[in-house]
Amino acid sequence: MNHPARPGEAAPDSPCVPVPPTPADHLDLARTTQRGPLPDFLPTGDSVADVVPVVAPTGDHIWLVTGFGLGRKVLTDDRFSRAAAVAPTAPAIHPFRPDPAALTSLDPPQHTRLRRLVNRSFTPQAVARLEDGIRHTARRLLAGRTRIDLVAQYAMPLSAMTICRVLGVPEADHARFAGLADRALGITTGIFEEQSLARDALRDYIRDLITEARRRPGGHMLGSLATAHDESGALSHQELTALVELLLNAGYETSVGQLGLAVVALLDHPEQWRLLATAAHPERASSAAVEEMLRYAPVVPMSFSRVARQDLVLGTVRIRAGEAVVVSLLHAGFDPRTHPDASRLDVTRPHARHLTFGHGAHTCLGAQLARTQLRVALEELAAAAPGLTPRVPLPSLRWRRPEAVVRGPVALPVTLSGDASGTRTG
């Protein structure tokens, strides 16, 4: 890996403008505010640079971008390639390499073509039509309970219902999908060694869904994708399978993890939970809280890796063609140049900026749906349990392992209380 360039040094072919380094303490703040493990290679306050060299669990050397501004630049700069990053010889941040045919593994124009096929299912109008169903399910899951595991009994069935309805998975199969996905992704077990067989079973199930959608397309997304494959040839079989698997897994796993992280953060700051639970305008309050939760406790701490297509300068670091760059979505949310008082969780923060859904062409396809689901889930939980309290001390919660791509508790047992007087539990 190359050494950082001298401040102000720029390659002739690069228009990047060097930026001042971030204050050192934001690197530590990003860690110390979080419950649960984080990847061991994330930097601490020993470094003050916006771009730092790290060694990934794969043994590969990667450039990690920690500043908000430079992170957003990387996510939109076409001199960095996603397709090159999934090549077998490319430096990798994680030992599990993504499917090269997946939407998240492609560059334009291939990425543009596939994304266009599914965009209409995630428009604001399409998402708005789902809200009543999400709210009804959330209320049903909470009704009559005094105790609940917010992962297994709330976040998982709610997320399964939502993504299955988007795709058109039969309602009778929602629980089956949730069980398969849980085992394949290690959401509640945290046991990754047993995932291989479960992943095969989930892929078999996805193939069955696709086969049925090709026989009877219907008016849902699965049917539209099957038709695009069979009639117009706009989608190859490999692309179709990879796209459905990505939508099911990503739309489910990240939603489960983000709701768990949000509730843990609010339990850790009971005064913030009380603000949310007693708000005069719940939807307005929860909308602001959602953006703050996404900034403060992002479910995915790092972006997908990207590989430089050419030599360039990023901040004060010279990146060579073929080197990999990853954006720390977690650190970007604590950049003090963008987020004043970033270490403080504030559900009333008026403009909580973050990169949790990415930026640019690869902005999360389901970002609007994820926001809506998280908002509704928090609104219904606050209405049912303004005095929500954990049943175990927060430091003793079990978490997904740090090498998991998606963060979150594997269980979150709480008491649903109507008294808004929760207390911090250590």
Mean pLDDT of the 143-159 span: 96
Structure tokens at 315: 């901040």
- How confident is the model at residue 25, as a pLDDT? 58
Quote the CA–CA distance of 167 and 165 in Å, as a whole number. 5
Residue 309: which of 49, 93, 87 has the closest Cα? 87
- How confident is the model at residue 190, as a pLDDT? 59
Residue-averaged pLDDT of the chain: 87
**DSSP 3-state of 24:** coil
Pairing of strands 389-390, 317-319: unpaired
**DSSP 3-state of 53:** strand
Structure tokens at 211: 């086969």
Angle at 49 between CA 296 and CA 67, to 5 degrees: 35
Give the position of tokens 């004043």: 340
Angle at 104 between CA 298 and CA 178, to 5 degrees: 65
Higher pLDDT, 229 or 411: 411
Quick check: pTM over 0.85?
yes
Structure tokens at 215: 């026989």
Q: Answer yes or no: are the C-beta atoms of 332 and 68 closer than 8 Å.
A: yes
Q: What is the pLDDT of residues 155-187, one digit of tens each?
A: 999 999 999 999 999 889 999 999 888 888 888
Give the position of tokens 């306050």: 45
- The CATH code of the domain at 25-415 is 1.10.630.10
Outline where 122-194 has alpha helix (H): 124-142, 156-167, 174-185
Q: What is the pLDDT of residues 82-127, one digit of tens each?
A: 999 999 999 999 887 888 999 999 999 999 999 998 888 899 999 9
Mean pLDDT of the 209-220 span: 87
Q: Among residues of the chain, what percentage have pLDDT more than 70?
A: 89
Quote the CA–CA distance of 414 and 426 in Å, as a whole number. 15
Residue 167: which of 60, 247, 84 has the closest Cα? 247
Higher pLDDT, 230 or 104: 104
> Which residues, in sequence order, are CB contacts of 396 under 8 Å at separation 6+?
none
For residue 78, give Cα distances in angstroms to 41, 194, 310.
27, 38, 10
> Which residues, in sequence order, are CB contacts of 314 under 8 Å at separation 6+?
16, 51, 63, 65, 70, 73, 74, 325
**What are 109-118's contacts with CB under 8 Å, separation 24+?**
110/83, 111/82, 111/361, 111/362, 112/361, 113/234, 114/235, 114/239, 114/243, 115/361, 115/365, 117/224, 117/225, 117/228, 117/234, 117/235, 117/243, 118/221, 118/225, 118/243, 118/247, 118/365
